[in-house]
Structure 1
Amino acid sequence: MQYLADALANNRTLTMIDLSNNKIQDQGAHYLANALTENTTLTTLSLYNDQIGDQEGQHFANTLRNNTILTTLILSNNRIEDLGAQHIANALISNKTLITLSLQGNLIGNRGAHHLGNALTNNKTLITLNLQDNLIAAEGAQHLANALINNTTLTTLQLRGNGVGVKGTQHLANALTNNMALTTLNLRGNGIEVEGVQYLAVALTNNTTLTTLNLGYNGIRDSGAQYLANSLSSNTTLTTLDLGHNRIRDSGTQDLANSLSSNTTLTTLTLTHNRIGDEGAQHIANALKNNTTLTTLNLSRNEIQDQGVEHIANALTSNMVIHK
């Protein structure tokens, strides 16, 4: 790693390097971090699954304080905990070039989220933050939500597979009411359930920037689908909604279908792995006869049989927009 680092320090043409699935560890990270303080061309560095922990994270944090070229840093699937997140967050306060940071699949909890939230309050350049598959619960979500209220640059926040829960969702929903920058929010697999969706639905009636929302694997059921359907009737910005794996039945499907009759912005709706039967399929088919904006509809792995398929097939003879 020392030889590679020495080459990077002097190289003036390389813009991207992927060192994923290696065993860089502390000494290698130290060499790389030092090289990045000298390098003036590298914009993307991927260190996916490289056994990087808090100490190694500190090396890269020190680099971020001085490096003015790097725009994308991938530290996914490593062993970074709250302390490492704190080092990186402190560096983000002064860094003015990084636009994409992935910390997916680490061991970051509420304290780490607190520090990252503080960074987002001050940072004016980060656009994408990936915190999927960490250990962030309601308290950590609250810190991130507080930052979103004033942050004007972050457009994508990935929180899939954490433990945000109902309370954390409430904090994020409150932030969405005021935030004017976020366009993509991934809350897949966070135990949101019906109550949490209710908070999000209220936020969607006021939010004018969010275009992509992933709520898969959250136990939303029919009641949650109804709340979302009510907001879709008035929301004019959301284009992509994922409600897969949510135990939604025909009743919830009917509510969603009714909203599609008036909604003019949603282009992609995912309802895979629910419990939609022929009756639900008929409601969707009726909506498709009038809806002119939905282009992608995923109903795979439901309980739709021949009759339901026939309803949708008949609707598609007049619907000229759906292509997938």
Structure 2
Amino acid sequence: MSVNASANVFSIEGKGLKLDTAEDVQDFVNSILEIENLEQVILSGNTFGVEAAQAIAGALKGKDTIRIVNASDIFTSRLREEIPHAVKAICDALEDKEKLNELNFSDNAFGPAGAEPMVDFLNNNRSLQVLKLNNNGLGVRGGTIIGKALLAAANKNVSEGRTSSLRTIIAGRNRLENGSSRALADAIAGHGTLTEIRMPQNGIRPEGIVTLSKGFGACKNLEILDLQDNTFTVTGSVAFAKALVEWPNLKVLNIGDCLLSEKGGVAIAEALLLGHNKKLETLNLQYNEIDSKGVKILATAISTHLKNLSSLELNGNKVNPEDISIQNARSALEDNGHADALGELDDMEISDEEEDELDEEDTEENEAKLDEEDTTEPVMSKKVTEKVTTEELDVENQKESTLSKKFEKLSVKELENKEDLVEPQLEAQKSEKRSIEAKAAEDKSQEINREDQENQLVNSGDQVESLTERITKVQVLS
């Protein structure tokens, strides 16, 4: 157990404890009771049975200074029928806490059955600012239950003349789909005080996006909005663009992987071009089928209004990375002092026409390289051959000249008398020369040509030596 009494924190985070009975948690209960001004309780990363949860809840009941309760990932391996009772115990203990501002039940796969025990708490607690229900498998029914409970709280605030305290809702990966969008949109609009909404990966389709956008539009102080990996298309994009102009304080917008479409990308870019989102710092638009037209408008928006944009994701869209629109966006970011703002563009979609053009360019470039190689290689080979053979040929030419003079001194008669000795050797030399020439003709490789030239040089030396031997024999016979 880790208890930080000096900071008014009780924590058993990440210990992997399996706590079934009241006896299993008695030491923890004693520690909680000993902390006078308990502000933070962290139970995450352990697994609580009903009795254990009820015992902890009993200890929390008398702690009016609690501000944060983290009960994420606390039901691993528990039976489905156990979880609602444990959730109910914790929520009931926190319902009247006037200083409580954050409750985290994320990563508990309790589904709609876990949402129902939260209703009274959500209806009646007036201090809650942050509600985290990420990855709970709520589904349409669970999302609807939560939405209706929050709307009931908002209506109570109105009837009592209160301003809502709710600032943050995190409900990603819950399969909320379109079916829960009406209840959630009404709840969000009813509070109207949200500054952060995160609902990624929920299978929400265009009709649901249209409904939610209306609710989001009522939150005039929205700063962070994450709807990544839902489906907009042009229908949802146009509705969302209308809401976008309502958020002058927006700093983070993540609508990546939302299939905006080409026209949808233009609609979003045009909304940003209106200049109502000048505080925007982070914008994720990746994998949305946005084309160069949308990026061109976005580049203009960056240049004219989005001076604070320091992170932009455009990867996976239908724009060539070398397109002028991308260059304009990069230049605009650089002019605003954010040269490194644009993320990687290594997975951009390119149209079939652009791919054909690129293939033609590559083909032409490769052909040009081959032509250049065909032109330069023989020249290079010739230079190498000349460098290797020039001096040697000079020497051999001198030898052949000397031999010629010696032959001239021999009488025709002497050569005829020794014809039976010289001619067979000359015939052999001629045959060898023909073989070498035939081999050179068959080999078209440039490297072999060079080697052939060197071989011919060697053979020339051999011929000179052979001729010298024949002359010597002729002189001896003479």
Q: TM-score, structure 1 length as denominator?
A: 0.83
- Is the Cα–Cα contact under 8 Å of residues 138 and 176 in structure 2 kept in the other structure? yes
What CA distance in whole angstroms lies between the structure 1 residues aligned with 2:264 and 2:346?
18
1:91-170 map, 5 Å: 91-121=121-151, 122-123=153-154, 124-170=164-210
The alignment yields a C-alpha RMSD, in angstroms, of: 2.5
SS of the equivalent of 2:169 reads strand
**Partner residue of 1:242 out of 272, 284, 309:** 284
Q: Which residue of 1 aligns with 2:49?
A: 25
| TM alignment of 1:168-179, pairs within 5 A | 168-179=208-219
Unaligned 5+ segments in structure 1 are 305-324
Q: Which amino acid aligns with 2:255?
A: L
Q: CA deviation at 1:295?
A: 7.5
Q: Structure 2: how far apart are the matches of 1:118 and 1:69?
A: 23
Aligned amino acid, residue 49 of structure 1: D
Instruction: Choose from 77, 81, 85 the match for 1:55.
Output: 85
Conserved 8 A contact 2:41-2:70: yes
Q: What do the CA deviations read for 1:19-78 (whole angstroms, capped 9, x no partner)?
A: 221112322221222111112343222222111732222112212223334322221111
Q: Give the stretch that moved more between structures: 176-185 or 99-108.
A: 176-185
- Tell me how far apart the structure 1 counterparts of residues 219 and 167 of structure 2 sit (CA, whole Å): 14
1:202 aligns with 2:242: yes
Compute the displacement of 1:230 (Å): 0.5
Distance 1:288 1:79, change over 3 A: closer
For 1:274, the equivalent position in structure 2 comes to 316
Segments of 5+ residues of structure 2 without an aligned counterpart are 1-24, 77-82, 155-163, 349-478
| Secondary structure in structure 2 of the residue aligned to 1:110 | helix
Q: Which residue of 2 aligns with 1:68?
A: 98
Q: Which amino acid in structure 2 is aligned with residue 144 of structure 1?
A: L
Following the alignment from structure 2 to structure 1, what is the Cα–Cα distance between the partners of residues 338 and 183?
Answer: 35
Q: Deviations over 1:85-106 (max 9, x none)?
A: 2321331221122222211111
How far apart in 2 are the matches of 1:236 and 1:271? 20
1:223 equivalent in structure 2? 263
Distance 1:50 1:225 in 2: 41
Provide closer, same or farther for how the CA distance between residues 90 and 9 of structure 1 changes in structure 2, counting only shifts above 3 A: same
User: Match of 2:58, as an amino acid?
Assistant: N
Q: Do 1:12 and 1:40's aligned partners in 2 also have CA atoms closer than 8 Å?
A: no
Report the residue type matching 2:223 in the other structure: T
Shift of 1:296: 6.3
Within the candidate set 84, 99, 107, 1:77 is matched to 107
Cα distance change of structure 1 residues 251 and 297 upon mapping to structure 2, 3 Å threshold = same
SS of alignment partner, residue 274 of structure 1: coil
* 1:180-230 C-alpha deviation (Å, 9 max, x unpaired): 343322111112233211211122234445443210111224332211110
Offset of residue 293 of structure 1 = 7.5
Of the structure 1 ranges 119-128 and 187-196, higher mean CA displacement relative to structure 2 is found in 119-128
Counterpart of 2:175, as a letter, is: L
Which range moves more in the overlay, 270-279 or 30-39?
270-279
**Which residue, 307, 328, 353 being the options, matches 1:283?**
328
1:262, distance to aligned residue in structure 2 (A): 2.4
- Tell me, in whole angstroms, the C-alpha distance in 1 between the residues paired with 2:216 and 2:131: 21
Give yes or no for contact 1:33–1:60 (8 Å, CA) kept in 2: yes
Equivalent-residue separation in structure 1 for 2:197 and 2:227 (angstroms): 9
User: Does the CA-based 8 Å contact 2:85-2:117 persist in structure 1?
Assistant: no
| Residue in 1 that maps onto 2:59 | 35
Task: Classify the secondary structure of the residue corresponding to 1:297.
Answer: coil
Contact 1:221 1:252 in 2 (8 A): no
Is 1:299 the equivalent of 2:299?
Answer: no
Corresponding residue for residue 312 of structure 1: none
Identity of matched residues, %: 23
Would you say the 8 A contact 1:264–1:293 is kept in 2? no
Provide the C-alpha distance between the structure 2 equivalents of 1:40 and 1:102, rounded to a whole number of angstroms. 21
Q: Tell me the residue number matched to 1:314.
A: none
Aligned mates of 2:340, 2:209 — CA distance in 1: 27
Change in Cα spacing, 1:264 to 1:189, as seen in structure 2 (3 Å) is closer
8 A Cα contact 2:192 2:218, kept in partner: no
**1:234-283 CA deviation, whole Å, 9 max, x = no partner?**
14235132212334343432231122232245524422532441114322
Query: For residues 278 and 107 of structure 1, what CA distance do their matches in structure 2 show?
Result: 42
Q: Do 2:273 and 2:298's aligned partners in 1 also have CA atoms closer than 8 Å?
A: no
One-letter code aligned to 1:90: D
Aligned position for 1:189: 229
RCO comparison, higher one (Cα < 8 Å, 6+): 1
Structure 1 range deviating more: 189-198 or 240-249: 240-249
Q: Aligned match of 1:232 in 272, 289, 310?
A: 272
| Higher share in helix | 2
Name the CA distance, whole Å, in 2 between partners of 1:200 and 1:293: 29
Which AA in structure 1 matches 2:241? A
